[in-house]
Amino acid sequence: MRRLRFGWLVVALLALGLVRTAPGAPVQVVKLAFLGPLTGPNAPQGLGARNAFDLALRQANASGRFPYRIEGVVLDDASDPATGRAAALRAVSDPAVVAATGHWNSPVAFATIEVFHENRTPIVIWGAIHPDITRRGYAEVTRVAPTAEQETAVGARWVVREMRLRRWAVVHDTTTYGNFTRDAFVGTARGLGAEILSTDGINVGDRDFGALLTRLRGLNPDGVFFGGVVTEGALFKAQMARARLEAAFFSISGIFDDRFIEVATPQAAEGTLAIKPGVPLERIATGRRFIEDYRAAGYREPYGAYGPYAYDATNILLEALRQVGPDRARLVDAIRNIRYRGLLGEVTFDREGQTRLVAVTRYVVQDGKWTVWEDSEYAKGKRKVR
């Protein structure tokens, strides 16, 4: 009877990931989950963030700070809410997964935070920026990236107040992301004295914007604000150039990717204005070290706009794990109350789980690459955005 009971104990521990059958002493395995778009049009963002997650885990396992091996469970949300929810259910159903980090798309995050809340499993959001994600009152949900409101306020002050672009046409995709970025820009810009000439919604997947551009030319705006992501934004900017609509083109971090320049073409993308959360990593010691480690690890994909946030999010999970051990409930409290020195500065969370650290950098496309605004010929007056 004792042997029978022992056999069932081993089976149970194996299921929990607490025992390995490899030679030597038993090794406890603790798992952290990553969720992001690894396929589809937003895959470049997800792949870079996944690599940053993997790098943090590699470094943790090599550090000797943990009495167990930490494994990553990488799940594709495909930028689709239903796929994301299924991935979240898969993560929480594995008892060895004690915490997660995830999501570039806000609609996907909305579809999964209920899952993590109901299963008392912490998740740190690395990319989805809808303000309401952390306003649901879920202790399990925190976010290291600034919200769309925080981003857009910085950007609107730049283009309306500093650049004195007063008359704006607003174009946005009709997703949740597009709608709330539209509202954030319109509200902030009007508060700064700008005039909103028009607002127009487009569908994800649209390819021909000729009729809309003809109408916008008649309005003669100083600038076009685009609330959307890379593919539609790049196509719109390319067609805007062909239509000779001579207005500034500005967006927030949804378009900030080298693929935007590739799809639009460098010539058409020239002068595009955007903001991105964070600071140029090359200018800070922690950032330079991250870049060196990322390159040394041999990842094929660039870390992208949100890779540093995924890296910090993963390290926050790891630091909380080091403090309280692999217990989901204790990790929830440890994460919410953490004070973590990350790539971009010291991260703490407010009572809603939103980071208090807001760092945003302004960029312009110059000669086929994203260039920090202050370093550009546009900022120095040698080139004009329009």
* Residue 186 amino acid letter: V
Q: Say what the pTM is.
A: 0.77
User: Structure tokens of 321?
Assistant: 């794990």
Query: pLDDT tens per residue, the chain (386 residues)?
Result: 444 343 434 334 444 444 332 334 455 999 999 999 999 988 988 999 999 999 999 999 999 999 999 999 999 999 999 999 999 999 999 999 999 999 999 999 999 999 999 999 999 999 998 999 999 999 999 999 989 888 888 999 999 999 999 999 999 999 888 998 999 999 999 999 999 999 999 999 999 999 999 999 999 999 999 999 899 999 999 999 999 999 999 999 889 989 999 999 999 999 999 998 888 899 899 999 999 999 999 999 999 888 999 999 999 999 999 999 999 999 999 999 999 999 988 999 999 999 999 888 999 999 999 999 999 999 999 999 97
User: Structure tokens of 217?
Assistant: 């030319």
The length of the chain is 386
Residue 97: strand, helix, or coil: strand
Report how far residue 33's alpha carbon sits from residue 91's, in angstroms, rounded to the nearest whole number.
6
Q: What angle do CA 132, 343, 303 make, to 5 degrees?
A: 80
Contact call for residues 57 and 15 (beta carbons, < 8 A): no
Q: Quickly list H helices, 131-280.
A: 148-156, 176-191, 210-219, 230-242, 258-264, 266-269
Cα 357 → chain centroid: 15
Structural domains in the chain, sorted by start: 2-145+282-355 (3.40.50.2300), 149-277+361-375 (3.40.50.2300)
End-to-end alpha carbon distance in the chain: 82
Cα 352 → chain centroid: 18
User: Structure tokens of 23?
Assistant: 């030679």
Locus of tokens 């955007």: 274
